[in-house]
Amino acid sequence: METSYKPFPRTEPVLHPDRRFLFSRLSHLIALGFGSGLSRVAPGTIGTLWAWIAFLLIDRLGMPGDAGWALIIGTTLLLGWWASVATVKRTGVADPGYIVIDEVVAFWLVLWLAAPVGFWGQFWAFWLFRYFDAAKPGPVRWADRAFKGWGWRGGWGIMFDDLVAAACTLLLIAFWRWL
């Protein structure tokens, strides 16, 4: 039995969402990283920068701690998965670049697990993560292809390759610290 679904019938897919689209549904707001995915130039990089700023703001509140960050990241992962599925369903595009919640969750994971690091450590973590996410070497390419499609499987695919990029980033950081 086929469990995935096709997008809503539309005459053409949503290739460049606007503010109206962003605010039309909660799922769009979440999937597009509260607007950071609206950038027409490098939305994944802009989404990762937004993630970095949001991480610093949340962390400055002094509340999360390890259990709090685990809860925030886990909850955002599940919300991002749901929002990605819903947004893909409404846009007719299987893995659009303007969905950036995957970058947000994955980069929060990098910053949380790489801590404590100062600005330069976060800066290099940012660029390592962007490299793995954009170039998709080895395991990231496999993860990107493993869950393509529509429905919950496709939504997981949107999230999964960025989690693998985060894991690769964290492995390099761990290796660097070991040296």
The string of pLDDT tens digits covering residues 19-56 is: 999 999 999 999 999 999 999 999 999 999 999 999 99
**The pLDDT of residue 1 is above 90:** no
Closest of 119, 42, 29 to residue 76, by C-alpha: 29
Closest of 122, 144, 114 to residue 51, by C-alpha: 122
Closest of 159, 107, 111, 101 to residue 130, by C-alpha: 107
Look up the pTM and report it. 0.90
Q: Give pLDDT, residue 65.
A: 87
What's the rounded mean pLDDT across residues 86-98? 92
Q: Give pLDDT, residue 5.
A: 44
**The pLDDT of residue 60 is above 70:** yes
Residues whose CB is less than 8 angstroms from the CB of residue 25 and which lie 6 or more positions away in sequence, other chains included: 86, 87, 90
Q: Give pLDDT, residue 72.
A: 95
What's the rounded mean pLDDT across residues 132-157? 92
Q: Give pLDDT, residue 86.
A: 95
What's the rounded mean pLDDT across residues 158-166? 97
Q: Give pLDDT, residue 162.
A: 97
What's the rounded mean pLDDT across residues 65-94? 94
